[in-house]
Chains A and B, each alone.
Chain A
Amino acid sequence: MTEKLTVATTSLAGCFGCHMSFLDMDERLLELMTIARFDRSPLTDIKHCSERVDIGLVEGGLCNAENVHTLREFRRHCNILVAVGACAINGGLPALRNHIPLEECLREAYLDGIGVEQPGIPNDPELPLLLDQVHPIHEVVVVDYFLPGCPPSADVFWKFLTDLAAGREPSLPSPMLHYD
């Protein structure tokens, strides 16, 4: 292999657990460094993708306008886009709020909450707009692969990336396909 794969990652409405599971490759990260180069990622200080990136891994679903903006920008720069984990694939746990009116959530946190002083709902223009429901990413952009799990295991990341690096169509044996 002459050219290293470029890999970008981003975290939207998730918990960072998928990124942790990525790092759970442990010592295999050293081997990964020989076949891949990191681009934009919360694990680096590259805040926007380089012109073209081979693989983009997306953790988390969409809960606000900034998530949507980030996802669209990410999609434009990534040749292969991957939905990683329960939240990116179907909204995951944050989507539990989808059956509750947003106003009730706001009231609970900022107006009626235990020990809240100076109640008021944050409304600064610096804060991104909320979506009324949490959405999976395939509703907004085309997704090339889905890695299930909450989170997918380190072995899943390893198998997926090494398959792609070797020019193989990625495939996960059934023990790696889990949804918890």
Chain B
Amino acid sequence: MYTHLETAESPETLRRVVIDPVTRVEGHGKVTLLLDEENHVRQARLHIVEFRGFERFIQGRPYWELPVLVQRLCGICPVSHHLAAAKAIDQLVGVDQLTPTADKLRRLLHFGQMLQSHALHFFHLSSPDLLFGFASEAARRNIVAVLEAYPETGLKGVRLRKFGQEVIRMICGKRVHGTGAIAGGMNKALSREERDYLLQDVDQIIAWSGDAVSLARDLYLSDREQHDRFAYIRSSFMGLIRPDGALEFYHGGLRAKDERGQIIFDHLDYRQYTDYLHEQVKPWSYMKFPYIVSLGPERGWYRVGPLARINNCEFIPTPLAETARQAFAGYGAGNPVHGSLAFHWARMIEVLHAAEAIRELLLDADIMGTDLVTRGEKRYEGIGVIEAPRGTLFHHYCVNDEDIVTRANLIVSTTSNNTAMNESIRQVAATYLDGQTVTEGLLNHLEVAIRAYDPCLSCATHALGQMPLELELLDAEERVISRIQRGVTA
């Protein structure tokens, strides 16, 4: 543990180094380091600096707006928020079981999302670090340089993402912020033309997904010692799991394992999440710090997302991805894999699973059915949980007699990785930067550790924070158009 680097004593005597903004991640974050005279790292923090207020401002809206409103939390994984909200409002209309067609359409949509988001993260955002080196020239660390230096690899990434986006478009009408899920089902059937359009490419996509797994695995193993050690932290892992122990993205119980792979809890009804998970507030970040209640805030933090899911599941229900998972599990030799960079490898295994599952669903007789909506008795509370690309996502809503939202709680995936990301950058700071002259390349090492988690910082900043000072906003003619309020005291 590197918790001793969370808060330095007498910070005013230390030198501040900042990475602002953190790039090639979604949203707004910055890293601050405090160094002493000999360049020893005394403090390292990832601050989430953005704030929105979703939990408050969706109160007063009718519940049926939720899937369309809350997907605007995130442009990378809008479908995850769309579906988590839909699962919650299913309960508000008394529905626990969708029609087979609606259930499969939602799963197809979700697999499309998983595929495009993971491809985006690996190829467009992270691959420059892995292909060119963590300390390579900053001007080259982007997807354009990857397309120039490795055109075949880069183009596969672009086309994998494109396919996932096209799955979404066929179901939701557009690629980002479409409409599809409604309370109790889906709003549109899949036509034969739409299905056939996707089917024509799916075998190629599965093949490229297999290549992506090989690439991620080979990159990891190409410098096994360094990659095992980089941002190595040990943690618990949490995620949804199917009743039979299979990898599950859309619906299941909650499973948490400790750092040795022993069960903490299993197959929990996620509607009881408040008994098992609490969130700690720290003054230096707008993102809260969730933990497993029974273990307490110090020991109860955990990781979510691809690494957690692949570590936690017993098998993957599609053959090629299962073979890939076995290789991954073999690497861990019976123990959970803890190295943060292994996230990339696990993420590409999920891409392969998503591609295989999309093919299965497209060939399923139910997928073009037209029985789309189920109705039941009104309820006043709904809790929807889903495995978003970045991990377990919780949406919790209460409504009144007029169907107006009165209460909302969201725990987004990246929030669950907050402690882990901070622990990872503290590890990297202590291992690679301590006592060194800080260079741009060394600073990128910190960002590489953060990127492994594929954080979605917009998602994670649905809350609002305090203004410690006062500020006036002037327009182009220097007229005051807004004045920041003074800080609100607790």
**A residues lining the B interface (CB < 8 Å):** 11, 13-21, 23-24, 26-27, 29-30, 33, 38, 41-47, 62-66, 68, 92-94, 96-97, 100, 102-111, 113-133, 135, 139-142, 150-151, 153-154, 180
- Closest 4 pairs between A and B when the two form their complex, measured CB to CB: A17-B75, A109-B463, A124-B284, A105-B53
Contact with A along B277-317 (1 / 0, CB 8 A): 11111111110100000000100000000000000000000
Chain A: CB-nearest residue to B74: A15
Is B52 at the interface (CB under 8 A from chain A)? Answer: yes
Give me 10 other A-B pairs in contact (C-beta within 8 A), A23-B120, A23-B161, A139-B475 excluded: A21-B175, A24-B165, A33-B148, A63-B51, A66-B28, A68-B473, A110-B465, A118-B280, A123-B283, A151-B176
> Cβ of B8 < 8 Å from any Cβ of A?
no
B: number of interface residues (CB 8 Å)? 91
Question: Given A97-B56, A120-B490, A132-B483, are A17 and B20 also a contact pair (CB < 8 Å)?
Answer: no
CB distance from B73 to the nearest CB of A (A): 6
**Which residues of B are found within 8 Å of A27, using beta-carbon distances?**
155, 158-159, 162
What are some 21 contacts across the A-B interface (CB < 8 A)? A17-B176, A24-B176, A27-B162, A30-B147, A42-B26, A43-B124, A44-B23, A96-B69, A97-B57, A105-B464, A109-B465, A113-B409, A115-B279, A116-B278, A120-B283, A122-B285, A123-B283, A126-B45, A127-B468, A130-B51, A139-B481
B207 within 8 A of A: no
Out of A17, A111, A139, name the residue touching B177 (CB < 8 Å): A17
Partner of A43, one of B76, B143, B483: B143
CA distance A127 to B278 in the complex (A): 23
The digit string for B77-105, where 1 denotes a CB below 8 A from any CB of A, is 01000000000000000000000000000
State which of B21, B28, B464 has its C-beta within 8 Å of the C-beta of A109: B464
Report whether A126 and B144 are in contact in the complex, using a CB–CB cutoff of 8 Å.
no
Chain B positions within 8 Å of A133 at CB level: 482
Query: Which residue on chain B has the smallest CB distance to residue A104?
Result: B56
The answer to whether B468 touches A29 (Cβ under 8 A) is: no
Does B484 interact with chain A (Cβ within 8 Å)?
Answer: yes
Q: Which residues of chain A are within 8 angstroms of B142 by Cβ–Cβ distance?
A: 38, 41, 43-45
Q: Name the contact of B147 in the complex, choosing from A33, A132, A150 (C-beta under 8 A).
A: A33
Chain A, Cβ-Cβ closest to B18: A126
Tell me if B21 and A100 are in contact (CB < 8 A): no
Q: Which residue of B lies closest to A141 (CB)?
A: B476
* Cross-interface CB contact of B286 among A44, A122, A150, cutoff 8 Å: A122
- Contact status of A97 and B52, CB under 8 A, knowing A122-B286, A151-B176: yes
Q: Which residue of the partner chain, among B27, B141, B284, contacts A16 with CB atoms under 8 Å?
A: B27
